[in-house]
Amino acid sequence: MRNLFNVSSYLLIGAYCALALWSAHDVFIVGDPALYAENGFLETLQAVLLGIGCLLFLAPVASRKEPGKLIFLFCSLLCYSFVVRELDVELLNVPEVVKFIGSGIGRNASLALAFSAILIYAVANFSYYKKTGLQFLKSRAGILLMLGGVLLQVGDLFEKNHALQHHVFFEEFSELSGYVLILLSALAVNSAIARRNGCSPTGGR
């Protein structure tokens, strides 16, 4: 199982590099802006990567033996929040209740409630999650997650720099790069768990 996650990481990195080369050619040589258009290829791909990351982070939560499950639940919820940010849920052909939860006030309220519940539980077990959280941030998965966050901030800077030609492309590709790192973080989490469970049993909350 660990090898499966490692192979998946290598394949993801290879596909990302190939996409970077193709995108650069399509935008700067061919001059086609459709790639980074609203609800275009890059935005759709971002949502797909985030959806996979959301499920991968959620997988360890189902394990009774895995410690620090709240951290992985937080990461999964974070991916979900990015998904509903990237997708215009209100324009999709889905039930009205899904549109309400996935957009506007309903989205903001549901996310605030979910994040607040996680925060309250973490504060109630502060000493445990302080230690576990720091361990996670120092791990490969934690570092990848933080680097992904940095690239999302870089994308935000490109979004505001209208003087730069193809600034939207740089914004979208920076965000895509950040989401790739977040997905790699999710793969690293599951790889570490598979390695640990293959060596010795673990216990925790």
Taking only the tens place, the pLDDT of each residue in 99-148 is 888 888 888 999 999 999 999 999 999 999 999 999 999 999 999 999 99
Question: pLDDT tens digit string along 29-86?
Answer: 998 888 998 888 999 999 999 999 999 999 988 766 666 789 999 999 999 999 988 8
Nearest to 148 by CA among 190, 115, 191, 183: 183
CA distances from 12 to 19, 43, 52, 147, 187 (A): 10, 17, 12, 16, 10
The whole-number pLDDT of residue 117 equals 95
Q: Residue 200 pLDDT > 60, yes or no?
A: no
**What gap in Å lies between CA 201 and CA 30, rounded to an integer?**
55
The whole-number pLDDT of residue 67 equals 67
The whole-number pLDDT of residue 194 equals 84
Confidence of residue 204 (pLDDT cuts 50, 70, 90): very low
Question: pLDDT tens digit string along 92-107?
Answer: 778 888 888 888 888 8
CA distances from 29 to 22, 23, 24, 32 (A): 10, 10, 7, 8
Confidence of residue 202 (pLDDT cuts 50, 70, 90): very low
Q: What's the mean pLDDT in 159-185?
A: 93
Indicate the residue type of 203.
G
Rounded to a whole number, what is the distance in angstroms from the first to the last CA of the chain?
23
pTM of the model: 0.89
Length of the chain equals 205
- What stretch of H or E contains 143? helix 140-160
